[in-house]
């Protein structure tokens, strides 16, 4: 990469060149003047030799002065560049510290906002809703268990209205439990798990359809206790099992988990 010549060094070179040119011109003028006057004796030769010596001294002095001037100017430029470089480095370091402080402030503000949102969600509760289908009893007449059940409880007579057949009975043992899980922050503390259930297609208010853990109502029951999973990825799950053995209709269940941070 070619190096560019600074203005100070260029000025020193021009000044030295002008000085040398003037000296050569003066020497040439003096030589021509002596030749025109016809001075060719020993005195004239000594004078010419003296002039050449003086010219060489001037050339040497000009070269030394020019070199010294260029070094002085270059050193001054280097000092100025060093000072400017240090100032730029200080500015860059200051900008880096400022950027780090802004990033830390941004992260702190973001964490505070996220915590506030999570606290509000915990106060309102995390809701999980599901529809549980009607229970399907096992087919009659299959296996020894069915035979024993028929012997203990003979089938009832057909209803008076043949168009209205009785739905097959279903017991709690025949139903398959359904587990509802709500995700909460890993460091949260569960304050309440509210349980609700109502028949599908019924618009009863949830507040009027609340269940207690282990309570049986309408051939449905929630488990006595909820369970919690191991924290993973910053969250954990609060799960509640529900069982319904009604063969006539489905049920809509809702679990509302409240937590605190």
The CATH number of residue 251's host domain is 2.60.40
Q: What is the arithmetic mean of pLDDT over 208-216? A: 93
When pLDDT is cut at 50, 70 and 90, the band that residue 131 belongs to is: very high
Question: Would you say residue 143 lies in a domain?
Answer: no
> What domain count does the chain have?
2
Given this model, what pLDDT does residue 125 score? Answer: 94
Which pLDDT value is given to residue 145?
A: 45
For residue 24, what pLDDT is reported?
72
Residues 132 and 253 in one domain: yes
Tell me: do 95 and 33 sit in the same domain.
Answer: yes
Contact of 185 with 118, CB cutoff 8 Å: yes
Residue 21 or residue 225, greater confidence: 225
Within-domain flag for 159: no
Give Cα 24 distance to the centre of its chain.
74
Residue 61, pLDDT score: 79
Same domain, 129 and 58: no
Residue 163 in this model has a pLDDT that exceeds 80: no
Residues 132 and 248 in one domain: yes
Residues 40 and 131 in one domain: no
Same structural domain, 56 and 130: no
How many CB atoms lie under 10 A from the CB of residue 179? 15
- Mean pLDDT across 206-217: 92
User: According to the model, what pLDDT value does residue 160 have?
Assistant: 46
Question: Does 202 map to a domain?
Answer: yes
Q: Per the domain annotation, does 24 fall within a domain?
A: yes
Domain-located, residue 61: yes
Per-residue pLDDT averaged across 205-227, rounded?
93
Residues 182 and 93 reside in one and the same domain: no
Nearest-angstrom CA–CA distance, 100 and 22: 63
> What is the tens place of the pLDDT at every residue in 35-82?
666 655 677 677 777 777 877 787 777 777 777 777 787 888 888 889
Q: What is the DSSP letter of 216?
A: B
Domain of 254, in residue numbers = 125-138+168-260
- State the sign of the Cα–Cα–Cα–Cα dihedral 115, 118, 119, 120: positive
- Indicate whether 191 and 71 sit together in one domain: no
Is the pLDDT assigned to residue 21 strictly greater than 90?
Answer: no
- Predicted local distance difference test score (pLDDT) of residue 164: 43
- On whether both 131 and 204 belong to a single domain, the answer is yes
Residues 134 and 94 in one domain: no
137 or 194, which is more confident?
194
Same domain, 130 and 242: yes
Distances, alpha carbon 28 to alpha carbons 16, 34, 253, 256, in Å = 18, 10, 118, 111
Q: Is residue 182 part of a domain?
A: yes
DSSP 8-state class, residue 4: P
Neighbours of 93 (CB within 10 A): 10
In a domain, 147, yes or no: no
Is 107 inside any structural domain? no
- Same domain for 235 and 134? yes
């Amino acid at each position: 990469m070619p190096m560019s010549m600074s203005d100070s060094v260029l000025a020193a070179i021009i000044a030295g060149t002008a000085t040398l040119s003037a000296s050569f011109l003066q020497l040439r003028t003096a030589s021509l003047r002596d030749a025109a006057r016809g001075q060719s004796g020993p005195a004239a030769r000594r004078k010419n030799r003296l002039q050449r010596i003086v010219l060489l001294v001037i050339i040497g002095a000009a070269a030394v002065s020019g070199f010294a001037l260029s070094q002085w100017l270059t050193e001054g430029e280097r000092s100025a560049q060093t000072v400017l470089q240090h100032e730029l480095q200080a500015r860059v370091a200051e900008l880096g510290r400022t950027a780090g402080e802004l990033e830390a402030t941004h992260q702190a503000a973001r964490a505070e906002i996220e915590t506030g949102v999570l606290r509000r969600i915990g106060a309102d509760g995390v809701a999980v809703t599901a529809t549980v289908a009607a229970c399907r009893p096992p087919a009659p007449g299959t296996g020894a268990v069915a035979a024993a059940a028929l012997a203990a409880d003979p089938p009832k007579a057909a209803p008076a209205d043949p168009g209205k057949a009785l739905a097959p009975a279903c017991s709690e043992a025949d139903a398959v439990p359904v587990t509802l899980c709500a995700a909460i922050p890993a460091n949260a503390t569960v304050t309440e798990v509210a349980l609700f259930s109502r028949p599908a297609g019924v618009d009863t208010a949830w507040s009027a359809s609340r269940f207690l853990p282990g309570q049986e109502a309408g051939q449905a029951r929630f488990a006595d206790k909820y369970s919690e999973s191991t924290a993973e990825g910053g969250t954990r799950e609060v799960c509640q099992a529900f069982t319904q053995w009604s063969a006539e209709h489905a049920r809509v269940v809702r679990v509302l988990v409240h937590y605190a941070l």
